[in-house]
Chain A
Amino acid sequence: MVGVSLSRWTMTYFAAALVALLTAEILMSVGWGYPNAVLAAPSTLVLVHLVTLGWLSLLLCGALFQFVPVLVAKPLRYPQLPLITLLLLVAGISTLLLGFLGLRGTLSARGALFPIASTLLAAGFGLVLWNLGRTLASARPLTLPARFVVVGLLSLVATVALGITFALVLGADVTAPFAVRLFAYGLPLHIIAGLGGWLSLTAMGVSYRLLAMFMLAPESDRRSTRAVLLFGAGALGVSVLGGTVVIGFDHGIAAVLAVAALPGLLAIALYVHDLVHLYRVRKRRVIELNSRMAAAAVASLAIAAVLLIVSVGTESLTQNVAALVFLILFGWLSGLGLAKLYKIIPFLTWLECYGPALGRAPTPRVQDLVAEQRARKWFALYFAAVWIGTGALLDHAAGLFHVAAALQLIATAGITVQLIRARRLIDVPAPVRFPAGSRRPALLFAALDARPTTGD
């Protein structure tokens, strides 16, 4: 029996991620980037990478350092590495954003920013892969959710490799013909590997386990779940590897993407089907806010899949691609991320604070750390704002989009306050807040010995 300890820096990752999300939402509210600028504009690139790297990737890395050990029932291979990893990633992301600003002319000294950003991000994500990879390798044969994480991590390699190639071409540091061709035609592959592989497949794997755990649904090795992984990995392999090869031979990637679309859509359809099944067979009849909001995120993914099919069918994908990416980023990935943070932060805080007091004094429940009544309106506003924002982008209504972005910012700020209240134990009634043996948690990191001693 392996006891899994608390990941010391996961809260720090979450805090940095939330700062990035709020910053991105402020920028969107004031009209930065698309739709006021074109999709390929430096301001849009800043925004997109603030969300995908700063918010979603840091969130996922922080969660995986805690969750992969739970998934495989083995301790993290190198528990001392996540802090230096975070510093490298934050430095790399910041440098990359500065590089984009340099392209805009906002910053004059653009110089070596892209090579520096590339080096920092390669080192940071390299450490993520090394740490999680070694942890997963120690736990073979892997469970199904863990195999999703493996495909997600492989997609991360592809995303980062393509991203670094683009950055070096963009900064004129690399001029090799293949790299330049990749830069010119390979953007869809970078987006598919990042959004579809790294962020979505990993989130799917994690969601199977977390939702089953929190809703008391039986964790079964369903054939449809294996098909989700198979089709998802197939779609990624065909599009990203196949696409790279055809670009190498100087051909267009449209045919490759068309071939990959079918398994990709099948994977999404089966995933949604699996999740509906999971909600149906749950033993816990009254489910918590985080599980209800996760359903809204999964619904956003389903809507995005339908939007993709309709857009391709009506030959309007080019016009709708921004709305599609927005819905995937904020409805599906960020929606799921915020919903799960509303569970994970109270849960980890409970373990750190009350774990040592178990058996020594009555302790509050995890649910006592949150006030769902208060959080509900912020989550409702968040999803409403995202869906209005998606509609505004479809309609190319920039004014409405900025209003929706402002509402989304307010909702995210409201959710963040709820997360801080949970971490600070503010909603736990004062008389029972710190029973004998409990430990007051720090806001941004977990205590070093966040596991019980064996003495009395």
Chain B
Amino acid sequence: MSSTDIVPVAERIRTALRVVIDPELGYNIVDLGLIYDIAVDVAGAARVLMTTTTRGCPATSYLQEGARHSATQVAGVTSVEVVMTHEPPWSPQNMSSAAKQHFGIPEEGAA
């Protein structure tokens, strides 16, 4: 794999992660802003850094495994590690504009 493929692979992972929804909010984890980082090395080993909307969420292990599985399906990915963090804690302001609009959440400063 050449280094020029690395960015598109991360983007393809991001797209693939959209099949995973947060069960409570019913919206995909990418647009909710639960994915903090996606890094792929030259060998195709991916590392996804993600969070949950609330600490101790009973869906945590399912979200982690769902994200791992969907990222594994992306062509060019050889392995996936999904790391959970609560630093920084998630805030509704992390959502994409479309998700904010869906939930009726004003943009920061506009409220």
**A359 & B103 in contact (Cβ 8 Å cutoff):** no
Which of B23, B57, B64, B103 touches A350 (beta carbons < 8 Å)? Answer: B23
Q: How far is the CA of A368 from the CA of B86 in the complex (A)?
A: 28
Which of A70, A285, A359 touches B105 (beta carbons < 8 Å)? Answer: A285
Closest chain-A Cβ to B84's Cβ sits at a distance in Å of 4
**B21 & A365 in contact (Cβ 8 Å cutoff):** yes
The answer to the question of B65 belonging to the interface, with a C-beta cut-off of 8 Å to chain A, is yes
Q: Which residues of B contact A5 (CB under 8 A)?
A: 58, 61
Q: Which residues of A contact B20 (CB under 8 A)?
A: 358-359
The answer to the question of A3 belonging to the interface, with a C-beta cut-off of 8 Å to chain B, is yes
The answer to whether residues A347 and B66 also contact, given A73-B56, A284-B103, A452-B61 and a CB cut-off of 8 A, is no
Q: Which residues of A contact B17 (CB under 8 A)?
A: 359
Closest chain-B Cβ to A433's Cβ sits at a distance in Å of 15
Q: Which residues of A contact B15 (CB under 8 A)?
A: none
**B72 & A358 in contact (Cβ 8 Å cutoff):** no
Q: Which residues of A contact B54 (CB under 8 A)?
A: 213, 219
The answer to the question of A391 belonging to the interface, with a C-beta cut-off of 8 Å to chain B, is no
The answer to the question of B26 belonging to the interface, with a C-beta cut-off of 8 Å to chain A, is yes
**B92 & A283 in contact (Cβ 8 Å cutoff):** yes
The answer to the question of B85 belonging to the interface, with a C-beta cut-off of 8 Å to chain A, is yes
Closest chain-B Cβ to A7's Cβ sits at a distance in Å of 9
The closest CB in chain A to the CB of B52 belongs to: A1
**A360 & B69 in contact (Cβ 8 Å cutoff):** yes
Interface readout for A337-365 with B: 1 if CB under 8 Å, 0 if not? 00000000001101100111011111101
**A358 & B62 in contact (Cβ 8 Å cutoff):** yes
Closest chain-B Cβ to A425's Cβ sits at a distance in Å of 14
Q: How far is the CA of A451 from the CA of B64 in the complex (A)?
A: 11
Which of A1, A6, A283 touches B58 (beta carbons < 8 Å)? Answer: A6
The closest CB in chain B to the CB of A219 belongs to: B54
**B105 & A452 in contact (Cβ 8 Å cutoff):** no
Q: How far is the CA of A213 from the CA of B92 in the complex (A)?
A: 12
The answer to whether residues A71 and B69 also contact, given A286-B104, A363-B21 and a CB cut-off of 8 A, is no
The answer to whether residues A73 and B55 also contact, given A216-B92, A285-B105, A354-B23 and a CB cut-off of 8 A, is yes
Q: Which residues of A contact B104 (CB under 8 A)?
A: 284-286
Q: Which residues of B contact A71 (CB under 8 A)?
A: 56
The closest CB in chain B to the CB of A437 belongs to: B69
**A214 & B24 in contact (Cβ 8 Å cutoff):** yes
The answer to the question of A4 belonging to the interface, with a C-beta cut-off of 8 Å to chain B, is yes
Q: Which residues of A contact B26 (CB under 8 A)?
A: 365-368
The answer to the question of A314 belonging to the interface, with a C-beta cut-off of 8 Å to chain B, is no
The closest CB in chain B to the CB of A454 belongs to: B65
Which of A72, A359, A362, A456 has the largest number of chain B CB atoms within 10 A? A359
Q: Which residues of B contact A368 (CB under 8 A)?
A: 26
Q: Which residues of B contact A216 (CB under 8 A)?
A: 53, 92, 103, 105
Kindly identify, within residues 7 to 62 of chain B, every residue whose CB is under 8 Å from any CB belonging to chain A: 17, 19-21, 23-26, 53-62
Q: How far is the CA of A6 from the CA of B70 in the complex (A)?
A: 23
The closest CB in chain B to the CB of A451 belongs to: B61
**B57 & A285 in contact (Cβ 8 Å cutoff):** no
The answer to the question of B6 belonging to the interface, with a C-beta cut-off of 8 Å to chain A, is no
The answer to the question of B63 belonging to the interface, with a C-beta cut-off of 8 Å to chain A, is yes
Q: Which residues of B contact A366 (CB under 8 A)?
A: 23-24, 26
Q: Which residues of B contact A95 (CB under 8 A)?
A: none
Kindly identify, within residues 54 to 111 of chain B, every residue whose CB is under 8 Å from any CB belonging to chain A: 54-70, 72, 84-86, 92, 103-105
**B62 & A347 in contact (Cβ 8 Å cutoff):** no
Closest chain-A Cβ to B110's Cβ sits at a distance in Å of 13
Closest chain-B Cβ to A265's Cβ sits at a distance in Å of 32
Which of A71, A213, A219, A286 has the largest number of chain B CB atoms within 10 A? A213
Q: How far is the CA of A1 from the CA of B58 in the complex (A)?
A: 12
Which of B60, B65, B92 touches A4 (beta carbons < 8 Å)? Answer: B60
Q: How far is the CA of A5 from the CA of B59 in the complex (A)?
A: 8
Q: Which 10 pairs of residues, A with B, have the shortest CB-CB distance?
A: A365-B26, A358-B66, A359-B66, A3-B61, A355-B62, A73-B56, A285-B104, A359-B70, A1-B84, A359-B69
B interface residues, Cβ below 8 angstroms from A: 17, 19-21, 23-26, 53-70, 72, 84-86, 92, 103-105
A interface residues, Cβ below 8 angstroms from B: 1-6, 66, 69-73, 213-214, 216, 219, 283-286, 347-348, 350-351, 354-356, 358-363, 365-368, 451-454, 456
